[in-house]
Amino acid sequence: MQSHRSIITVTLLTYLVVIINQPNDISAFQRNDFGCRTLRKKLSLQNKVAMKMSSNGKGKPIVFSQDLEKYVGVQNTSNKWVDLSVSKDELRPSATLTNGQCFNWIPVESLAPNDYIVNYVESKSTSPNKSAWGIHDAKEWIGCINESVFQIKETDSSTLFKILAGDISVNEAKNILHDYFQLDISLKKLYKSWSKDDNNRMARIATAIPGCRIIRQDPSQCLFSFICSSNNNIPRITQILSRFSEKYGNPIIDVPCRYIVDGEFERDSFKLHSFPKLHSFEDATEDNFRDLGFGYRAKYMVKTRDLLMERGGEDFLFSLREKSEDYVQDELIQFHGIGRKVADCVALFSLDQTSAIPVDVHVQHIACRDYNSTFIDSQRSLTPRVYKEIGDIFRERFSAYPGWAHSLLFVAELPSFRDALPEEILHEMEEWRVKESEMKAERKIKKN
């Protein structure tokens, strides 16, 4: 009964967040029949999703580093931590894996289970530090790359890894991670270049948030993952994709975990799957995707899959790595559910398009506040022309890898990184927020 109450509470809170972010003219709180029907329909859908996400009635599984160590010891006694030999200036997984460019890494709790209970349950303190995506601020993660499972650990001076599953050698694993994190690109040199291009804000952010890289994902995985990103939040995207992988991916490893039940731990495990290959869901229907929680995006999954298969499948996407930025965007927006922003996300995060700038309202605000205020003054909508103009602000400002530079500026805006920023930047953010509110109020008065 208690778990059902928790599900209903989470459902109501989730729905309130959705409603708050809806335009006023479609608010489900309107006092008419349409509003009431919309409210009941959305609550019903959210409740079904919540029940699926908590089908075991135990809540969210917690993966502990201590349990993984014992597990690996049983599975492969020769498996030890391997140093990637990369400095913190070149790679910080905590700034790279948690900023919304990928959704396949599960945080691992480094505290001992008993300490976790004391700190976060018995003391009734707040949960572990949250990132912008609702994932606690971990220093370890596990995740799949292709058909292998890695454990990644961030230390004060470097990044370590273990191979939890996969028929690969240590050298092969190093090569996979080297390519995934694009370690052949000197981030330290890029930070220095960007700081010269913008010796004010970027220079201070670069000092505060080191090691924030763009990863090189599998293009198909990136494409279908970002179809889920529209009008969605990262925890839910992760859950949907996890169910998608469970249904159509290959089972690779049983991950030991624990659930908190009545203030105590209950041991369990869950199966980690690889991301599905195109052929594995070639017969999936729209209803199949809806059952996994894709909602209205189910039709995009089916139509994009079909078009991609017509174009040549995964090989077509890999071929885009050799094409120009404009060509890649024009090709990607042909797929259903892929607008210009999502196309640029896929291009930047998987297709080697280092000048791609995913533009949304948040990026527009960064451009207006720091580089060109005319875009907020005129309140121009993101037409293709305006979209390109905003992207060009970053491309013209940063001479090298402007897509990477833009991403670092975006990461600095996330709540989870506020503690890392200098006080003066936080003050500037607040000043701009107040100014922006005043400008919007003035425009509203003029409009009326």
- Residue numbers annotated as active site: 341
Q: Which residues pair with 257 in a beta bridge?
A: 268
Q: Six-digit token pair at 190?
A: 């890029």
Measured CA to CA, the distance from residue 294 to residue 298 in angstroms comes to: 5
SS3 of 106, please?
strand
Instruction: Name the residue among 351, 375, 384, 387 with its Cα closest to residue 436.
Output: 375
Q: What one-character DSSP code corresponds to residue 30? A: S
Q: 136 with 130: CB under 8 angstroms?
A: yes
Which residues have CB under 8 Å from 117's CB, separation 6+?
260, 263, 264, 265
Residue 136's φ and ψ, nearest 5 degrees, are -70, 155
Please calculate the CA angle 247-249-253 and round it to the nearest 5 degrees: 105
Measured CA to CA, the distance from residue 438 to residue 402 in angstroms comes to: 31
Q: 341 with 364: CB under 8 angstroms?
A: no
Question: CA neighbours within 13 Å on the CB side: how many for 263?
Answer: 5
- Listed in sequence order, the DSSP H helices in 76-218 are 93-96, 113-117, 170-180, 187-197, 201-208
Q: Which residues pair with 270 in a beta bridge?
A: 255
Q: Which residues pair with 282 in a beta bridge?
A: none
- Which whole-number Å values give the CA distances from 258 to 128, 139, 351, in the listed order? 16, 19, 37
Q: 177 with 192: CB under 8 angstroms?
A: no
Measured CA to CA, the distance from residue 368 to residue 365 in angstroms comes to: 5
